Structure 1
């Protein structure tokens, strides 16, 4: 028997929406904090400080960021994709998502705590071991983060579109928070080790909130209603003849149990879990997956590699040479992009345009951002191309458009993806395919940006 109701409860105080924003923040927080603490690794942990004040740079310092990028990107993409196809519990039930989400958060918490411990203790006598422990941490974090991110999009797909967008919004909130923390750190100029500990501790705090709020989510009446509705629709599709009640039991434990009572919706009648028809789902979702991929590919082709290398045309853009040198990249590149992406991802809550069939038009038009930023004042001392964009204000305006359009169109495409499948029993699979397209776009965009950087220098 499956419980269903015709009366949709309200998301009181927007609790479900806020919880999904928290998970969106938690998805990117550990990685953003690692990148934000780059100088802690290169100038503190991977540089030997002698008693006479002499510094000896280790062989691991020069290629640290490249090694981190490889250790992070490949596992993240790989496990985002594998998570779609491999079962853990019942893959597309609440139980399956619970195993994946909570297991991923616990592992991330363990390795972030290990990172804080390594920041506190003196590792100068074993720099090589520290480097490999850091690489192992990055690999593990991105393996479980790939599973975590993919699963969060999967279970949110059973809710209305704006809840998928809440995750995208949370990711952009994380970027804005990180950019602000970076500016505050520059302003206060604390010890690199202390700053890194603050960064890592904030990741632990956010992950802990995500862990706790996931239990709140599973007990929430609004969330349970939509899961019951989706399983009710499944039972009709599969011919379940069990009794249908028109009310939800208000007992949290009993109502939670009801999610798993429709056996025909979860297996094929022989006790075997059905594998979703992936080609059937992809047939309907591929357009939105392509939109997701292109939005992030174009964005990561210029941000942050190209944009962080753009220098001011006016050396006193912030009122003085010193302030401009200190804050130009932190504000004009990182803060502006992340803040505008955050506002862009919030905008679909108020206006949705264009529709799913026409979204490809503005997405494709964003390719114009690539030559625009290449013609700005990027690495002026090493570039061979002329600088055509001779205005800091025009560059900032381009950054605003880039950030806002990235947030807005990524939100729309992620919202449209799970709703593209006529049979909504497979909405979770569609959402996970879109999430895999997202990280694939990031992966290929970042690597393409290195080619663009090389091209400008030729």
Structure 2
């Protein structure tokens, strides 16, 4: 039997203040009591959906060892496929082009989501996009065992196309999930953001464990991509469960009906009368600082991660050495960044500084992160023509961890604050727009990464 609470949730309290600014005196009274999220089941479902939303991207970029093997110089000894001295042009350009194909597709598909959010149901968008991700990941898993030495350029193209399709579908799913979670209390937005960081950490650990295994690169990659397929399948089942819990059903299907009447007479909550352009224009006026802030955060991050960070060589590099040659990049670049990102995102739910009221200070701090770019550039990233300032491994480790923590913390604060500044009827639109700005940051950062690689 469902249990209920009488108190208004934090989400409703914040929404009541956002109707006419921070100091709104309007009361926001629910027509009935709100179900409890028993055992935090819905919270963990959104956490898992967050994992699935960035897991496809993370599984592609952390599979660098596999792609380097597939695109290796076939005239050189097979064991030297990751040796900087024998890297092919396709190996050098892989991550930068992977970022571009993925994020451009992501941006285009998310743009369509913004236009269609009021016309295609959220359930259809999430189910169809997740199903497409599962199918393409299954095809990628099958491709692992196909010998591509004679058609490496074709394999490169297929990889770019697969990444584009998966990330395009992920964009639709992610934008829709963010639009949905913005109808819930802010802690659920933080849950999705934390899940994304967990997904990155999971992918990094899966990559490291695959290297620790006794199997070949091909055998490890097969299990790696098969894991991604399974996780996305579970995410689809988890999403379906949202329609069975009373708590999530309340926010998905009943919130508007229960709350619109309280303010409809004053025109404060209803948005159905707004045209499509006017609907988004009113949202942008209220959340533009958060939108640009999250865009800048991810532009800075993607400009150096993973393209530059994954080329940083240990100061004690020796060919064939287990740590400096095999595990340094998977651990320092991917694992440490994602752990930092994971730490930063849940902290934003406990320590919210700058606070909701100090949005200008948050905006400035997001811009200030750009100083991390030149600092990381002057680590020992190879190949390069620029001088190296930081030879000791402690510098790239510290900088990458800081990059991850600030990415998670400032990105999540912006994503949490934005939907609190609009009426409930515009919450889904605000969530989709914020997801669009996040993706725009990924695209801009990906483009900059190619320039930075060339500047090295």
Give the TM-score category using the shorter length. Answer: 0.7 to 0.9
Q: Distance in 1 between matches of 2:248 and 2:451?
A: 45
Q: Distance in 2 between matches of 1:293 and 1:77?
A: 12
Q: Distance in 1 between matches of 2:289 and 2:71?
A: 45
Which of 368, 393, 398 is matched with 2:371 structurally?
368
Q: What is the match of residue 448 of structure 2?
A: 448
Q: What is the match of residue 300 of structure 1?
A: 302
Superposed CA deviations along residues 266-311 of structure 1, whole A, max 9, x for unmatched, are 955xxx9977611111000111001101111111122222222222
Q: Distance in 2 between matches of 1:123 and 1:378?
A: 29
User: What's the offset of the Cα at 1:159?
Assistant: 0.5
Name the SS of the counterpart of 1:218 in structure 2: coil
- C-alpha change, 1:112 and 1:161, in structure 2 (3 Å) is same
Superposed CA deviations along residues 352-391 of structure 1, whole A, max 9, x for unmatched, are 1111323113222212211221232233x6333351x343
Which of 238, 250, 267 is matched with 1:225 structurally?
250
Superposed CA deviations along residues 212-254 of structure 1, whole A, max 9, x for unmatched, are 11121122111122342344333444449xxxxxxxxxxxxxx
TM-score of the superposition, structure 1-length normalised?
A: 0.80
* Structure 2 stretches lacking a partner, 5+ long: 1-28, 82-86
1:35 and 2:38 aligned: no
- C-alpha change, 1:361 and 1:274, in structure 2 (3 Å) is closer
- C-alpha change, 1:160 and 1:364, in structure 2 (3 Å) is same
Name the SS of the counterpart of 1:299 in structure 2: helix
Q: Distance in 1 between matches of 2:32 and 2:338?
A: 40
CA contact (8 A) 1:29 1:174 kept: yes
Q: Distance in 1 between matches of 2:193 and 2:93?
A: 31
* Structure 1 stretches lacking a partner, 5+ long: 241-263
Q: What is the match of residue 415 of structure 2?
A: 414
Task: Report 1:368-387 matches (<5 A).
Answer: 368-379=371-382, 382-387=384-389
- C-alpha change, 1:38 and 1:395, in structure 2 (3 Å) is closer
- C-alpha change, 1:103 and 1:188, in structure 2 (3 Å) is same
Q: What is the match of residue 279 of structure 2?
A: 277
Q: Distance in 2 between matches of 1:200 and 1:47?
A: 24
Name the SS of the counterpart of 2:165 in structure 1: helix
Task: Report 1:340-351 matches (<5 A).
Answer: 340-351=340-351
TM-score of the superposition, structure 2-length normalised?
A: 0.81
Q: Distance in 2 between matches of 1:63 and 1:397?
A: 26
CA contact (8 A) 2:61 2:306 kept: no
Q: What is the match of residue 111 of structure 2?
A: 81
User: What's the offset of the Cα at 1:126?
Assistant: 7.0
Q: What is the match of residue 315 of structure 2?
A: 313
Compute the RMSD of aligned alpha carbons. 3.4
Q: What is the match of residue 255 of structure 1?
A: none
Name the SS of the counterpart of 1:404 in structure 2: helix
- C-alpha change, 1:237 and 1:85, in structure 2 (3 Å) is farther
CA contact (8 A) 1:231 1:425 kept: no
Task: Report 1:146-161 matches (<5 A).
Answer: 146-161=171-186
Superposed CA deviations along residues 58-77 of structure 1, whole A, max 9, x for unmatched, are 99777554553443221111
Name the SS of the counterpart of 1:359 in structure 2: helix
User: What's the offset of the Cα at 1:392?
Assistant: 2.3
Q: What is the match of residue 429 of structure 2?
A: 429
Structure whose alpha-carbon radius of gyration is higher: 1
CA contact (8 A) 2:348 2:412 kept: yes
- C-alpha change, 1:181 and 1:40, in structure 2 (3 Å) is same
Q: What is the match of residue 395 of structure 2?
A: 394
Q: What is the match of residue 99 of structure 1?
A: 124
User: What's the offset of the Cα at 1:122?
Assistant: 5.6
Q: What is the match of residue 177 of structure 1?
A: 202
1:113 and 2:138 aligned: yes
- C-alpha change, 1:45 and 1:362, in structure 2 (3 Å) is closer
Q: Distance in 2 between matches of 1:130 and 1:384?
A: 32
1:234 and 2:263 aligned: no
- C-alpha change, 1:143 and 1:7, in structure 2 (3 Å) is same
Name the SS of the counterpart of 2:39 in structure 1: helix
CA contact (8 A) 1:340 1:404 kept: yes
CA contact (8 A) 1:150 1:432 kept: yes
Superposed CA deviations along residues 63-109 of structure 1, whole A, max 9, x for unmatched, are 55455344322111111122111256x45xxxx11010011111111
Q: What is the match of residue 26 of structure 2?
A: none
